[in-house]
Amino acid sequence: MSSLRLISFKLCPFVQRAAIVLRAKQVAHDIEFIDLKHKPEWFLALSPLGKVPILQADETVLFESQAIAEYLDETHPPAMHPADPLRRAQHRGYIELVSSALMHTYALFTHAADEAAARVLAEKVKGVLQLLDHARRGKPYFDGEQLSLVDAAAAPLLQRVAWIEHMFDFGVFSSLPGAAQWRDAVMADDIVRGSTVPDIVDLFRASWEGFLGGVRDDAVARANR
């Protein structure tokens, strides 16, 4: 059995995907956190793209979160992907949808200069969650009673949208009760809860408060005109 080491950044949602799968399968592993603003030379030598996550399996290096998740799923049963090839392909497509929504969420902070721009991005996130919730068809998790790889990919998104809406209400979950139920199930799951550092919410708020503060200031100014 390979010795596994996950290279991580505390706030990275893509690393969290790998962490969820490792925890779901109870795979022994070490985790090492790095500062992405000051990337160590040893990390740059390992990571072809200079990004996390990186999973070291003995001398072999895996990169990209979904490649890592699928490797773990194939080597540590039971599978979190469907056995049927057609449904498995569908799930891979849904994971790409989740990734697009995560990038919209990131852009909300880095590219939204005002409330209007932020709400455009929030609507894109809402559209993805609406599609995913329709595919979920009322099940507790995406594909039934247990976490799937789609849930592992979506959990960081659902968490971050929930945290954002505590700081600035974009109305994402209030208009999507099914997605809100999915969010609640995922965020209450012990596997998901243990997939981050304990102070993740404080770190997230501290990291993004400045960006949301600008959007909030614009909203206040518009309301007072």
- Is 202 among the catalytic positions? no
Question: Any bridge partners for residue 7, and if so which?
Answer: 32, 54
CA distances for 98 relative to 40, 76, 192, 215, 218, angstroms: 29, 24, 16, 24, 29
34 in a structural domain: yes
* Co-location of 111 and 177 in the same domain: yes
The count of other CB atoms within 10 Å of the CB of residue 117 is 15
Domain count across the chain: 2
Last residue of a domain, one of 40, 57, 75: 75
* Co-location of 90 and 50 in the same domain: no
Which residue range forms the structural domain that includes residue 165? 85-223
Q: State the pLDDT at residue 135.
A: 96
* Co-location of 33 and 129 in the same domain: no
Q: State the pLDDT at residue 169.
A: 85
CA distance 157 to 187: 11
Give 42's pLDDT tier (boundaries 50, 70, 90). very high
With a cut of 90, say whether residue 158 has pLDDT above it. yes
The answer to whether 16 and 195 have CB atoms below 8 angstroms apart is yes
CATH number, position 50 = 3.40.30.10
* CA atoms within 13 Å, Cβ hemisphere of 24: 27
With a cut of 70, say whether residue 185 has pLDDT above it. yes
Average pLDDT over residues 13-27: 98
80 in a structural domain: no
Task: Name the active-site residue from 4, 7, 11, 12.
Answer: 12
The count of other CB atoms within 10 Å of the CB of residue 90 is 15
**Lowest mean pLDDT: which of 25-39, 114-128, 143-157?**
114-128
With a cut of 60, say whether residue 193 has pLDDT above it. yes
Average pLDDT over residues 43-52: 96
Q: State the pLDDT at residue 208.
A: 78
* Co-location of 62 and 103 in the same domain: no
* Co-location of 145 and 206 in the same domain: yes
Q: State the pLDDT at residue 220.
A: 44
CA distance 152 to 95: 9
147 in a structural domain: yes
Instruction: Give the tokens for residue 96.
Output: 């790409």
